[in-house]
Amino acid sequence: MSSIGTGYDLSASQFSPDGRVFQVEYAMKAVENSGTAVALRGKDGVVFAVEKLVTSKLYEAGANRRIFNIDTHIGMAVAGLLADSRQIVETARTEASNYRAEYGGNIPVKYLADRVAMYKHAYTLYSAVRPFGCSVALGSYDEIDGPQLYMVDPSGVSFGYLGCAMGKARQAAKTEMEKLKLKDMTCLELIKEAAKIIYIVHDEVKDKNFELELSWVGAVTQGRHQKVSQEVFAEVERYAKSALEDDSDSGNDDM
């Protein structure tokens, strides 16, 4: 499927003869090179799980987080070029802050997703800049509208999701997600499944070390987006690791 643009891929302001903007497609390839991130929306909240690849043992633990807070009630998980995603985070935070100053309340996550999408799209129009090489997933929960999850990709397109995955193992993660009945699951069930998906899709051979990042926003956190607590994290990790062993064991039974 990989095609070389040959001449039509030098700037985002050019179409190719078959109607593609290659720079945007290359930006999406940049996202595919990063560690997997999944986000799941259930009955009473949204959970985020990120496979943060650690390329050196010398790094400090917990550095370069990939899940961010946008205002107190919205979480954003990112995949792709980390520096690009940090700028998107800043933009989203400014939008949320301006909304609060002008209209006196929490920014609705759908509205924020639209604004972020418009911003990213603007960078796909000109030759003087390049598109952002990151996908972001925004999630929030509130009592009246329930949990909501949106993902924005480098082309500036935003969709609402029940479950979404980004990064290198996103196809495998999507397959795992489709086995679940997301709509009826609570946050606690979801977070275990999300961690399990990350462990399953993680490639032991190519990427040795990874840190798991987990966060959630829902009724269980009274609508605030936060990292899961130490106890919950430990329990969820145990569940994910043991589920992984069960899966690999069940493969051997056929012999």
Q: Which residues carry out catalysis?
A: 36
Residue 71 backbone dihedrals phi, psi, to 5 degrees: 60, -175
**Among the residue ranges 108-116, 175-183, 213-221, 241-249, the one whose residues contact another protein (CB under 8 A):** 108-116
Q: Which is nearer to another protein, 1 or 144 (CB)?
A: 144
**Percent helix / strand / coil, the chain, rounded to 5:** 40, 25, 35
209, with CB counted inside 10 A (0-12, 13-18, 19+), is exposed
Site string for another protein, 129-158 (x = CB under 8 A): ---------------x--------------
Q: Which is nearer to another protein, 57 or 103 (CB)?
A: 103
Q: Which of 17, 19, 105, 251 binds another protein (CB under 8 A)?
A: 105
Q: Judged by CB under 8 A, does residue 103 bind another protein?
A: yes
**Among the residue ranges 3-11, 50-58, 100-108, 206-214, the one whose residues contact another protein (CB under 8 A):** 100-108
CB of 182 to another protein, least distance (A): 24
Q: Judged by CB under 8 A, does residue 110 bind another protein?
A: yes
Q: What is the DSSP letter of 157?
A: -
Q: Which is nearer to another protein, 103 or 252 (CB)?
A: 103
Q: What is the DSSP letter of 202?
A: -
Q: Judged by CB under 8 A, does residue 93 bind another protein?
A: no
CB of 107 to another protein, least distance (A): 10
Q: Which is nearer to another protein, 17 or 104 (CB)?
A: 104
Contacts 24+ apart (CB under 8 A), 182-187: 182/40, 182/41, 182/42, 183/42, 183/43, 184/42, 184/43, 185/40, 185/42, 185/43, 186/42, 186/43, 186/44, 186/45, 186/220, 187/42, 187/44, 187/45, 187/47, 187/216, 187/218, 187/219, 187/220
Residues lying near another protein in the complex (CB under 8 A): 98, 101-105, 108, 110-111, 114, 144
